[in-house]
Amino acid sequence: MYRETIDSVVGILVYDRGGRAATGSGFVTGLGPGGPHVVTNQHVVEPGDRFQLRFRGDEWRAGTLVGTDVYSDLAVLRPTDRPESATPLSWADTEPEPPVGTEVLAIGTPFDLGGSASRGIVSGIDRLLPAPNNFSIPDAVQTDAALNPGNSGGPIVTATGEVAAVASSAGGENIGFGISAALSERVIPALIADGEYRHSLLGVGLREVTPTAAELYGLDNVGGLIVTGVVGGGPSDGVFEPATESRVVQGVQVATGGDVIVDVGGVAVETQADLSNYLALETSPGDTVPTTVVRDGERTTVEVTLGRRPTP
């Protein structure tokens, strides 16, 4: 696994305008037009004004920033050239995703220690990570492979050397997260082509249905999302009915009177992750999506034309 991928893994030296340097990781990808590029995290390049890429064998290349996306924490750099051995890594099959238990390596430059590898498994899938403006990064992959400062942007690869995720953050001991192959394969080509990626916007506030809420709403099963608010003038304004009241049941406040989203585009919605994954992986701004809601105890289908997330 390591031998097949290490030549394509890159250490990234990021200089800000004051000349201060920070480090991160990246890897070579063939996605998008214009030849191979280097993928990393948006938070790695964010303070940067100048970029140096360190390939295996201490070969250095200058890098130019092509595009960034805060909402997926992805960024793309274009190297001036690259060693012949630094070939693009392939992406893991996203239908289905690598299941929990899949053995993986995280390869990168933790604490400026180039070419480091840590071993683990896929510990979870369909995780939500925080993003700016109260949004979330959907479809994230959880792993127990050690991720430390400097690993960000490096590949998390399977036993066949395919990228399952782009290392992004650590959440605690033996808990790390990466941006999934499925989301990366949507965002990266757009960053290369246009310098940005346009994310779909529903424009609602949501709360997952709890057992108490299911009882109050007369739902047969726990699952679905209560619409707690609608952004005025947004894509859902006038489409969904938000909760206007609340009740305290056994010390818990429950929003009442709003629509409960149970299906979007023919995909059952039980959790926030279900909806976020569908919007991120299956839709684009301007798409009209049929959505099934429970309203006043009855199932009904409404159509919403998706907007675009605002600039963070």
- Which tens digit of pLDDT belongs to each residue from 107-154? 999 999 999 999 999 999 999 999 988 899 999 999 999 999 999 999
Per-residue pLDDT of 260-286, as tens digits, reads: 999 999 999 999 999 999 999 999 999
Domain assignment of residue 190, yes or no: no
Give the position of tokens 């690598």: 98
Domain assignment of residue 17, yes or no: yes
- What's phi and psi for 229, nearest 5 deg? -170, 155
Per-residue pLDDT of 179-223, as tens digits, reads: 999 999 999 999 999 999 999 999 999 999 999 899 888 888 899
State which amino acid sits at residue 101. Answer: G
Per-residue pLDDT of 13-56, as tens digits, reads: 999 988 889 999 999 999 998 889 999 999 999 989 999 999 99
What is the domain extent for residue 230? 200-308
Tell me, yes or no, whether 205 and 285 share the same domain.
yes
The count of structural domains within the chain is: 3
Tell me, yes or no, whether 170 and 217 share the same domain.
no
Per-residue pLDDT of 224-254, as tens digits, reads: 999 999 999 999 999 999 998 888 877 888 8
Tell me, yes or no, whether 220 and 290 share the same domain.
yes
Tell me, yes or no, whether 111 and 64 share the same domain.
no
End position of a domain, from candidates 47, 79, 111? 79
User: Residue 310 CA to chain centroid, in angstroms?
Assistant: 17
Tell me, yes or no, whether 73 and 140 share the same domain.
no
Q: Is residue 206 within 8 Å of 225, Cβ to Cβ? A: yes
- Those residues with Cβ within 8 angstroms of residue 138's Cβ, 6 or more apart along the chain or in another chain: 126, 128, 183, 273, 276, 277, 279, 280, 281
Domain assignment of residue 88, yes or no: no
End position of a domain, from candidates 26, 45, 79? 79
Assess whether pLDDT exceeds 90 at residue 292: yes
DSSP, residue by residue, 133-162: TT-EEEEEEEE-S---TT-TT-EEEETTS-
* pLDDT value for 200: 97
Helix-strand-coil split of the chain, %, nearest 5: 15, 45, 40
- What's phi and psi for 214, nearest 5 deg? -60, -40
